[in-house]
Structure 1
Amino acid sequence: MTGSYSQSLVAISLLVAMLASYTALDMAGRLATAEGRVARWWLAGGAAAMGLGIWSMHFIAMLAFKLPIPVGYDLAITLYSLAVSIGASAYALWLVSRPSLPLQRLAAGAVLMGLGIAAMHYLGMAAMRMQPGIDYHPGWFAASIAVAIGAAGAALWIAFRLRVEQRNTVRLRILASLVMGLAIVGMHYTGMAAARFPAGSVCGAVGSGGIDPRWLAVLVIVTTLATLGIALVASLFDRQMRVRTGLLADSLAHANDKLIQAALHDPLTQLPNRMLLQDRIEQAIEKAQRRQQSVAVMFCDLDGFKAVNDAYGHQLGDRLLVAVAQRVGAQLRPQDTLARLGGDEFVIVLAIDAPDDAAVVAERVIAAASEPFVLDAAELQVTASLGIALYPDDAGDERELMAHADAAMYHTKETGRNGYTFFIPSMQLSANRQLRLLQDLRKAIARNELLLHYQPKFPAADAPATGAEALLRWQHPELGLLAPDVFIPIAERSGLILPIGDWVLDQACAQLRAWHDGGHSDWTMAVNLSPLQFASPALLDSVRSVLERHRIDPARLTLEITETTAMKDVEASLAILNDLTAMGVHIAIDDFGTGYSSLLYLKRMPATELKIDRAFVHDLERNDEDAAIVSSIIALGRTLQLQVVAEGVETQAQRDYLSELGCDQLQGYHLGRPMDAEEFLRKVG
Structure 2
Amino acid sequence: MNWFHKKTTPVIQTETVAQAAEITASESKPERDACLKHLSQVISSGERGAVLKLHIDNFKRLNQVFGYEYCESLLEQILTYLKEVTGKNVYHYIGVEYMIILDRYTQGQALELAEEIAGRFDHVWKVTGTDCLCSAQMGICSYPGHASSPDQMLKCLDLAVIKAEEDGPNQAVVFDSALQKQLQRRQTIALYLSTALEKEEVEVRYRPTLHMDTGIFTRAELYMRVFIKGLGLIGASEFLPVAEDSGQIRAIEYYALEKAAQCILSLLKADCKFESIALPISPVLFLQEDFLDEVKRVMDTHHIPKGKLALEIQESALTMAYLNINVMLQQLQEMGVEIILNEFGSGYSGISSILELPVDTLKLERLFVWQLETNPKSRHIIEGLVRMARDLDITIIAEGVETENQVRILTEAGCNYQQGFYYSPTLGKDTLLNILGTSLTDSHQLLAEEKDKMSR
CA contact (8 A) 1:387 1:412 kept: no
Quick one: distance in 2 between partners of 1:611 and 1:436? 32
Quick one: distance in 2 between partners of 1:641 and 1:605? 14
CA contact (8 A) 2:40 2:149 kept: no
- The one-letter amino acid paired with 2:52 is M
Equivalent runs, 1:75-474 vs 2, <5 Å:
266-267=21-22, 270=25, 279-285=33-39, 287-288=41-42, 296-300=50-54, 305=57, 315-316=64-65, 325-330=75-80, 331-332=82-83, 335-340=89-94, 346-350=97-101, 352-355=103-106, 358=110, 361-372=113-124, 380=133, 382-390=135-143, 392-409=144-161, 420=172, 422-424=174-176, 427-474=179-226
C-alpha deviations, 1:105-132, integer Å up to 9, x for none? xxxxxxxxxxxxxxxxxxxxxxxxxxxx
- The one-letter amino acid paired with 2:181 is L
TM-score norm. by structure 1 comes to 0.53
- The one-letter amino acid paired with 1:432 is Q
CA contact (8 A) 2:35 2:93 kept: no
Q: Over aligned residue pairs, what C-alpha RMSD do you find? A: 3.9
SS for the counterpart of 1:641 is: coil
C-alpha deviations, 1:48-75, integer Å up to 9, x for none? xxxxxxxxxxxxxxxxxxxxxxxxxxxx
Quick one: distance in 1 between partners of 2:162 and 2:188? 17
CA contact (8 A) 1:617 1:649 kept: yes
TM-score norm. by structure 2 comes to 0.76
User: Of the two structures, which has the highest relative contact order with CA contacts closer than 8 Å and spacing of 6 or more?
Assistant: 2
Quick one: distance in 2 between partners of 1:272 and 1:295? 28
Q: CA deviation at 1:639?
A: 2.7
C-alpha deviations, 1:603-628, integer Å up to 9, x for none? 33221112112222234477553222
Structure 1 residues 364 and 479 mapped into 2: Cα distance closer, same or farther (>3 Å)? same
Unaligned runs of 5+ in 1: 1-261
CA contact (8 A) 1:269 1:325 kept: no
C-alpha deviations, 1:41-96, integer Å up to 9, x for none? xxxxxxxxxxxxxxxxxxxxxxxxxxxxxxxxxxxxxxxxxxxxxxxxxxxxxxxx
Quick one: distance in 2 between partners of 1:443 and 1:625? 46
Structure 1 residues 324 and 362 mapped into 2: Cα distance closer, same or farther (>3 Å)? farther
- The one-letter amino acid paired with 2:103 is I
CA contact (8 A) 1:469 1:526 kept: yes
Quick one: distance in 2 between partners of 1:322 and 1:358? 27
CA contact (8 A) 2:48 2:104 kept: yes
Q: CA deviation at 1:504?
A: 1.2
CA contact (8 A) 1:285 1:295 kept: no
Structure 1 residues 493 and 635 mapped into 2: Cα distance closer, same or farther (>3 Å)? same
Identity of aligned residues (%): 23
C-alpha deviations, 1:534-590, integer Å up to 9, x for none? 333222111101111222113101111122223543333221111111111111111
C-alpha deviations, 1:403-448, integer Å up to 9, x for none? 3334555676788985545545665333322222222222222222
Equivalenced residue count is 413
The match for 2:239 is: 487
Quick one: distance in 1 between partners of 2:349 and 2:176? 42
CA contact (8 A) 2:312 2:342 kept: yes
- The one-letter amino acid paired with 1:608 is D
CA contact (8 A) 1:389 1:404 kept: no
Structure 1 residues 431 and 611 mapped into 2: Cα distance closer, same or farther (>3 Å)? closer
- The one-letter amino acid paired with 1:386 is G
Select 2:280's aligned residue among 528, 552, 558. 528
- The one-letter amino acid paired with 1:267 is E
Structure 1 residues 461 and 290 mapped into 2: Cα distance closer, same or farther (>3 Å)? closer
The match for 1:658 is: 410
Q: Highest CA radius of gyration, 1 or 2?
A: 1
SS for the counterpart of 1:466 is: strand
Quick one: distance in 1 between partners of 2:31 and 2:308? 45
The match for 1:519 is: 271
The match for 2:448 is: none
Quick one: distance in 2 between partners of 1:279 and 1:417? 29
Quick one: distance in 2 between partners of 1:414 and 1:570? 24
